[in-house]
A and B are shown apart, each in its own frame.
Chain A
Amino acid sequence: NAGVTQTPKFRILKIGQSMTLQCTQDMNHNYMYWYRQDPGMGLKLIYYSVGAGITDKGEVPNGYNVSRSTTEDFPLRLELAAPSQTSVYFCASSYGLNTEAFFGQGTRLTVV
C-alpha cells in the first residue's frame, strides 16, 4: 500500500542548478499538491492540480514549475536553484475538496 511516494529523500543542489522532484500516488486521487515547509513555519502551497492536464499556482509558485500528464504523477521542477529554495518539500494528494490529504515522505533540499 504505497500511497504517495516522493523521490529523492535528500538532495544538495548548487546555486543555478535545476532538478525535478518526483511524486506519484496510487490512490486514484484527482487532487495533488506541492507544499514547502521551512523551519518553524507551516506548510505553504506551491502548486496544485485538480486533475490530469490541469495545474494552477498556489501561494508561493515563483521559481517552480509543475506538470500533470497523468492522474498518478505530479513532478515539481526547480529551475535555477536559489538558497531561498532550501526547504522540505511535501507532495500530497486527496480524493476531494474537503477530504483528508495524504502526504509523501518529503524531500529535504539544500541549495548551496
Chain B
Amino acid sequence: QKEVEQNSGPLSVPEGAIASLNCTYSDRGSQSFFWYRQYSGKSPELIMFIYSNGDKEDGRFTAQLNKASQYVSLLIRDSQPSDSATYLCAVPRIDSGGGADGLTFGKGTHLIIQP
C-alpha cells in the first residue's frame, strides 16, 4: 500500500512568518510530487510541483524534495491570512505495469495564518 503521510495540524503561524509543511511518502519509485491547496468547501488547486531533488521556488512558495529521505516539503514565506487553507501532498499512483491510475493524496495539513 503506497502511503503519503502529512501532519493534519492545525498548524498556526503568525502573519508574515514562514509556514513549513511536510510530507513523507513510502514508494521509492515516485518521480513527481504535487502540492495542492484546498480552501474550505472548495476543490483542490495545484500550487507547486517538483520532480528533482533540491528546491523549486515560485513566488512566495518553495517546494523542497529529498528522494533519499522520501520527504517533500512546502515553505510559504511572508504568510498571509489568505494562505489559511488545507494543503494536500500528492504522489502519482503507478501500477506494476507502469500505468497511471491517479494520485495518492495525504490527508492534508490545515494551516491557519494568524493576523
Contacts and interface: CB of A to CB of B under 8 A. Distances in A.
A35 B90 CA distance: 13
B34 A100 contact: yes
B32 A98 contact: yes
A41 B46 CA distance: 18
Contacts of B31: 98
B101 interface: yes
Taking each of B94, B101, B105, which has the highest tally of chain A beta carbons within 10 Å of its own beta carbon?
B101
Given A97-B92, A98-B92, A31 B100 contact: yes
A103 interface: yes
Interface residues of A, number: 24
Contacts of A33: 102-103
A46 to B, nearest CB: 9
Question: DSSP majority for the B interface?
Answer: strand
A103 B37 CA distance: 12
Using C-beta atoms within 8 Å of the partner chain, give the interface range for chain B: 20 to 34
Interface in A89-112: 90, 92, 96-98, 100-106
Interface string A7-49: 0000000000000000000000001010100001111010010
A103 B101 CA distance: 15
Contacts of B46: 100-102
B107 A40 contact: yes
A45 B100 CA distance: 12
Nearest to B99: A50
A106 B43 contact: yes
B93 interface: yes
A98 B51 contact: yes
Contacts of A56: 101
B65 interface: no
A103 B32 contact: no
Contact of B103 (A41, A101, A106): A101
Contact of A40 (B8, B32, B94, B99): B8
Nearest to A103: B43
5 contacts: A43-B105, A48-B101, A97-B100, A98-B51, A105-B42
